[in-house]
Amino acid sequence: MSKESRIDEQIQHFYDNVPNVGDDLPLKEYLLKHEDSRMAWYLLGKEYESKGDKAKATYCFAQAGEIYEAFESKPAPQLPEHKTSKKSGWKKWTAALLIPLVLIGGATAVVWGLLPDSEDAAAIETTVPESPVVSPQTSASPKSAVGSKPAPLPAGVIPPDLIAGAPGPQDQGSGVLGELLTNKPSRQPRLLVAVPRLGKWNDWVKGGKPIATVTSDRESGLAGVQWFDPKWCDCKPEDGKAASKLVDGWKPLQEEKLALRSAMIRYKERTGKWPAAPEAMAGDYPANTMGGWTESMSAWFDELKALLTDKKDGKIPQTAGWPDRTGPDSGHGAPAGTLASMAEQAMEIIVDKSNHRLAVVSGDVILRNYEVGLGGNKTPEGKFVISEKVKDPNGSSTGAFGSRGMTLSDTRYGIHGTDEPKSMGKDESLGCVRMKKEDIEELYDLVPMGTPVTIAQGGLPDELRAPPERFRLPSTQNETNPHKVYDWLG
């Protein structure tokens, strides 16, 4: 039987067995173009399912076979017995359209979108699998963690394997979307999120609004897009609340991963070897490269250690890998697109003397931007590293240096708290970098010992950036140092 005859029989079978066919979607021409049409049947079934047409959806899902089973994590429905009918021909369709989209490199994807010339375009909606996180497996609740637990994903839901940032549809955004569509197919969906620009930086704190979910089929090479943002499509977008909730749970865990990976890289730079165990990095002072530890980090540590120590030359790889096979399900999904540098580069600190700002960056992503107090010409310019971290310097959390202090390159200059919070934005210190209590305590937990610090004129935006819920690491280690009197220049 020829391919066209086989598809004709499938279509006729659909008419014969699905009751009240009043809005059937004409897929024949599209199906003829592809060797494997199961993904198309699956997408068609999701369209009918969203409209409450269970009988039609069930038939399409049965035709989808293994594709349905992969995305839904359950057996595909069985096809009904063939029945003879006099029905024939295609009825005019208005519900949706499959359009081939030629992207970078000539690859072809399939995107649900509007039919511009349709007489009933208002009825057309964009819809690829209705959930941004339809899963072939069931999420396990994360293990008990020190401190607060990451929120587990609902049963049957799997997060994206990539979450890609994009500034807007008119510039770099279309290229990022093209990469997601033409990337190696995956059973996991991929999420495109808005990441606005903040000067020359990509804005991590303000980023994360869902734009679209991309799904792909490994066998047929087809990809589909579900839109959440009307600025990106001439369509009626889907509700993005579920995707927004996913991103809200994902972002803090990426910060934990970045802190851990940065700490391991800085540990290697300082000691010449990779840490053998978590205790080597989150120990009592002075072995407190990190200011705390979470249960999630234990799994990521083993995964990263395998990636990092598998280098025969023992050198620090230019890109150190990103832990994404272990840990809480809600943390899965490597940063991509304009967030890609987070998965490639360790954190650094930049201090801008011209506008009294201190930022934490990873490549071209700005994670935090704080207001600080400086000392004008007394604050040196140049490159330093955090050579020491201490809690409650000189035995006090309310003294001149506040509750946290970090020494710069074994000098008398430091980044620390202050008992003069009104000095923020001013040049009243004797050369050190002063920070508000909530800012220095977050910075202390976020950046590891060994983090590079660049102090210069210019380079940072004026807009402050810190999330409503600050980054904190649970700690049971002793990071005080009662044997030393700190005499930073204040």
- List residues with catalytic annotation: 416, 432
Label residue 144 exposed, middle or buried (CB < 10 Å: 0-12, 13-18, 19+).
exposed
Give the separation between CA 371 and CA 347, rounded to whole angstroms: 19
Sign of the CA dihedral with 397 first, then 402, 404, and 410 last: negative
Give the separation between CA 305 and CA 10, rounded to whole angstroms: 52
Q: Give the helix ranges, DSSP H, for 187-343.
A: 241-271, 295-308
| Beta bridge partners of residue 334, listed in sequence order | 162
Give the separation between CA 161 and CA 26, rounded to whole angstroms: 32
Give the separation between CA 12 and CA 79, rounded to whole angstroms: 13
Label residue 261 exposed, middle or buried (CB < 10 Å: 0-12, 13-18, 19+).
buried
293-303: b (≥16 Cβ within 10 Å) or e? bbbbbbbbbeb
Distances (CA, A) of 138 to 64, 152, 191, 374: 21, 11, 19, 52
Q: Which two tokens stand for residue 392?
A: 């409650």
Question: Which residue type sits at 34?
Answer: H
Sign of the CA dihedral with 377 first, then 383, 387, and 389 last: positive
> 74: which residues sit within 8 A by CB, 6+ positions away?
none
Q: Are strands 357-362 and 365-371 parallel, antiparallel or unpaired?
A: antiparallel
Question: Which residue type sits at 33?
Answer: K
Question: Which residue type sits at 44?
Answer: L
Question: Which residue type sits at 320?
Answer: A
